[in-house]
Amino acid sequence: MKIIIVGAGIGGLATALSLEAAGYDDVIVVERARELRPLGVGINLLPHAVRELTELGLADAVAAIGTAPGRLSYFNRFGQPVWSEPRGLEAGYRWPQLSVHRGEFQLLLAEEVRRRLGADAIRLGLRATGVEHGVAGADGRVVERARFADAAGAELVLDADVVIGADGIHSALRAQAHPSEGAPPWNRLVLWRGTALAPTYLDGRTMIMAGDAEQKFVAYPLVAPGAEDGLTRVNFIAERRAPEGVDETADWNHAVDPAPIVELFADWRFDWLDVPAVIAAADEILEYPMVDRDPLASWTIGRTTLLGDAAHALYPNGSNGASQAILDARSLAFRLATSVDVDAALAAYEGDRRPATTKLNAMTRQLGPERVMQLAYERAPHGFADIHDVIPEAELQEIADGYKVAAGFHPEQLNQRSSLTPPARA
Ligand SMILES: Cc1cc2nc3c(=O)[nH]c(=O)nc-3n(C[C@H](O)[C@H](O)[C@H](O)COP(=O)(O)OP(=O)(O)OC[C@H]3O[C@@H](n4cnc5c(N)ncnc54)[C@H](O)[C@@H]3O)c2cc1C
């Protein structure tokens, strides 16, 4: 069976590796960019994704480029503690949580795809322009016919049994199937992402989030404690609702001057972290709109389906988009290897993943696990002596647990669920 994956992001590359592990070797990944470069900043791979990477034989390689946070702690905008929980192995998972550089992780996956599926398995510099479904192929078989354009505009036509659109939030394959959808909706939050060398805070292994729905700061170490003398390289995201009048169609994803962002956070000097100093120390700050996608009623047309951000781009609340793409990849490969035919497999994949990610979309629009910070703000906008005077412990626990169950990484659920490696390959 020939399978074409459109897009060599984390979703597309994880799909290629999952298909190879499920017994498919006629797989190519076709990518618009002419070169894969280690772009972006940090992301967290949650234990459900690390389980899948482990079962793909990548545990050591990914651990070598990452560091494992031991706690996640939420604070209000005065730095007062709202909620704190252990993470990864410390929380009883059989797999760690790993903070990695997004670009390094993508390159690691790409190298592994080439090693396992062949040097030509990733075809660069080809932009997908559309797919025709169920056409007669050269040998009379019914195929999906994918069309690509190179930088010079020359067309390449490739036939396959299955096409997977892993081409991100601005997916061409999604746009073809849903032509009236338009641009991703923006909730008027602006995100500034960067990395900085900053004095080690708390225990050196804690991911922190401070603030509320209007303004927030997130930071986590990208290196193990002690890697630098008294300093830690941290990844951060600063976030603030844009004033009316900001042009939604502006050129995002570019480097910006840190000074106005430092100013926005000028009062956020906690006794355990100096937020404006971290922002001021950034190597570079990139600006993004917080956008997602409305859930779709179906992902599959013919034998072409969607995966990762192309299928279900989510707000980053919960640090879960790439992890969900990896779950998609494993589910799709498992279903192809264990279903009676391709149509049944694609239907089963959608059944596994579309309702689950639709629910997550609704939860992330309600702030996901970060709702604890907004509740603290609504009930005590000027701060509190003890968070439990404001939010009972049980309510905080319920929000944390509810999100983990919906996202598929509650420790009991994840530790016990069966593997997505097809039984014949286990
Ligand atoms: C601020 C922020 C923080 C985040 N933090 C986390 C986190 O901590 N943990 C986490 O799991 N996730 C996080 N995410 C989300 C995560 O980055 C994405 O969900 C994930 O990278 C999506 O992967 P993908 O492969 O589906 O899409 P992409 O990474 O967008 O890859 C799509 C690929 O397709 C290619 N492409 C596009 N169009 C075409 C075309 N027409 N033809 C061929 N190729 C094409 C692109 O060049 C690209 O290489 C965060 C996101 C943001 C914005």
> Does any domain span residue 190?
yes
Residue 161 shares a structural domain with residue 252 = no
Of 291, 313, 340, the one marking the end of a domain is 291
Residue 199 shares a structural domain with residue 342 = no
Of 291, 312, 330, the one marking the end of a domain is 291
Divide the 426 residues of the chain into consecutive groups of 10 and give the mean pLDDT of each group. 98 98 98 91 95 98 96 97 97 96 96 98 98 94 97 96 97 97 92 94 96 96 83 95 68 81 97 97 92 96 98 91 97 98 98 97 92 97 97 97 91 96 88
Residue 35 shares a structural domain with residue 111 = yes
319, 323, 357: which to mutate for ligand 1, most atoms within 8 A of CB? 319
Which pLDDT does position 212 carry in this prediction? 96
Report the separation in Å between the CA atom of 368 and the middle of ligand 1, taken as the mean of its atom positions: 19
Report the separation in Å between the CA atom of 94 and the middle of ligand 1, taken as the mean of its atom positions: 27
Of 291, 311, 344, the one marking the end of a domain is 291
Which pLDDT does position 41 carry in this prediction? 86
Residue 269 shares a structural domain with residue 304 = no
Give the total number of structural domains in the chain: 2
> Does any domain span residue 73?
yes
31, 35, 39, 43: which to mutate for ligand 1, most atoms within 8 A of CB? 43
Q: CB-based contacts of 417: which residues, under 8 Å, 6+ apart?
A: none
Report the separation in Å between the CA atom of 361 and the middle of ligand 1, taken as the mean of its atom positions: 16
Cβ neighbour number for residue 12 with a 10 Å cutoff: 29
Report the separation in Å between the CA atom of 10 and the middle of ligand 1, taken as the mean of its atom positions: 7
Domain limits at 63? 3-183+300-367+406-425
CATH of the domain at 77: 3.50.50.60
User: Which ligand 1 atom is the nearest neighbour of the CA of 36?
Assistant: 49
CA distance 258 to 261: 5
Residue 178 shares a structural domain with residue 215 = no
Which pLDDT does position 251 carry in this prediction? 56
Residue 287 shares a structural domain with residue 320 = no
Residue 178 shares a structural domain with residue 190 = no
Which pLDDT does position 425 carry in this prediction? 82
Residue 167 shares a structural domain with residue 225 = no
> Does any domain span residue 310?
yes
Q: Assess contact for 210 and 217: CB atoms under 8 A.
A: yes
Residue 320 shares a structural domain with residue 255 = no
The tokens of 271 are what? 């006794």
> Does any domain span residue 372?
no
4, 5, 10, 150: which to mutate for ligand 1, most atoms within 8 A of CB? 10
Residue 284 shares a structural domain with residue 215 = yes
Report the separation in Å between the CA atom of 345 and the middle of ligand 1, taken as the mean of its atom positions: 24
Please tell me whether residue 157 adopts helix, strand or coil conformation: strand
Residue with tokens 């598929």: 408
Residue 195 shares a structural domain with residue 166 = no
The tokens of 326 are what? 């990896």
Residue with tokens 């994880």: 14
Pocket of ligand 1 (CB under 6 A): 6-12, 30-33, 43-44, 127-128, 166-168, 172, 191, 193, 237, 288, 308-309, 316, 319-323, 325
CATH of the domain at 242: 3.30.9.30
> Does any domain span residue 179?
yes
> Does any domain span residue 397?
no
> Does any domain span residue 307?
yes
Please tell me whether residue 402 adopts helix, strand or coil conformation: helix
Which pLDDT does position 319 carry in this prediction? 86
CA distance 421 to 52: 9
> Does any domain span residue 237?
yes
Residue 108 shares a structural domain with residue 7 = yes
Which pLDDT does position 120 carry in this prediction? 97
